[in-house]
Homo-oligomer: A and B are copies of this chain.
């Protein structure tokens, strides 16, 4: 374990970047030295994000994105909170240089490069790095993360949906379709910019599904369900935009394996020993307020005997457990810190 890590964030001007800065500026083992932002290059952190302007952080200056590897200072690890194509280009180069990478973009999550092309619209030109990349969900892949050079931090919807399905994985009949109906605040549904569809007058007092036919998190969820199931899983995934800012609440409708009873589900949930997973007695108790600004994932289930459907509800803060919080968990694992350091 190194005492103080030299850290950087590529693309530090967005929502996830802000949250990372907030977490790392309180982390006892972190020394944040390098922030890039095309929009804010040359400006002080305190000027750009007044709410983050603590004495230890406010004098950090945003740099331009690097043009070449030699533009970077010496770093132990770098977080990529960048567009997918930027991650795709730079992550392998950083790894080659010996900088461990936590990629919060989607460039190294899908193992199937056909899916990647279809859902991200990009050719995957770094198959070797992709083969080495570890899917960075600590609860399911802790050992591999510890030694990984390139961690693909999971998407926000996949994090919300997969964690409880992992808990119940041995009780679910994965030969039947899995239906996921997931609702997100605006900070999870787009960047910090005021893009089409995220203006105040179109989001406020409104609610709708978006990308129901094809969202890039669908193949990511299906891929990991396939790992749990040991085979291909059929998934219907629909994301919605809530008229609020922060959090994802995901409802999964699954079929229990033959012979599995309500108490089996309760036992599986109660047996969990994870610092950030919390089982609640009823699905009505899962709410966004309880997880906002935290790294927790709250979950519960409802076993509906009449229909033979088990309903699994989970909630996360998309910027914490769904992005920056999980990324710091991964950092801790990679460098031998207590996993919860700086994340509570």
**A positions within 8 Å CB-CB of B:** 15, 50-51, 53-56, 177, 179, 181, 183, 185-187, 192-196, 198-213, 234-236, 238, 240, 242-247, 249, 251, 253, 275, 278, 282-294, 296, 298, 302, 304, 306-309, 311, 313, 340, 344
Contacts and interface: CB of A to CB of B under 8 A. Distances in A.
Contact of A253 (B206, B240, B253, B294): B253
Contact of A202 (B234, B278, B289, B304): B289
B186 A307 contact: no
Contacts of A294: 51
Given A187-B201, A243-B242, A253-B179, A209 B54 contact: no
B292 A208 contact: no
Contacts of A200: 186, 194, 198-200, 203-204, 245
Contacts of A285: 208
Nearest to A291: B51
A242 B245 contact: no
A238 B55 CA distance: 33
Contact of A311 (B53, B236, B286, B304): B236
B181 A302 contact: no
A101 to B, nearest CB: 27
B207 A249 contact: yes
Nearest to A184: B207
Nearest to A278: B50
A236 B304 contact: yes
Contacts of A247: 207
Contacts of A286: 208-209
* Most chain B Cβ neighbours within 10 Å, of A207, A283, A293, A311: A207
A56 to B, nearest CB: 8
29 contacts: A50-B296, A51-B296, A55-B275, A55-B340, A181-B181, A187-B201, A194-B196, A195-B199, A198-B199, A205-B246, A206-B287, A206-B288, A207-B244, A207-B247, A207-B249, A207-B287, A207-B288, A208-B249, A208-B285, A208-B287, A209-B251, A209-B284, A211-B284, A212-B282, A212-B283, A234-B307, A236-B253, A236-B309, A240-B249
Nearest to A211: B284
Shortest Cβ-Cβ A-B pairs, 6 listed: A194-B199, A208-B287, A50-B290, A177-B307, A54-B344, A200-B203
A344 B251 CA distance: 36
Given A198-B200, A340-B55, A210 B289 contact: no
A253 B196 CA distance: 29
A275 B46 CA distance: 13
Nearest to A286: B208
A54 B264 CA distance: 28
A242 to B, nearest CB: 6
B201 A311 contact: no
* Most chain B Cβ neighbours within 10 Å, of A50, A185, A291: A50
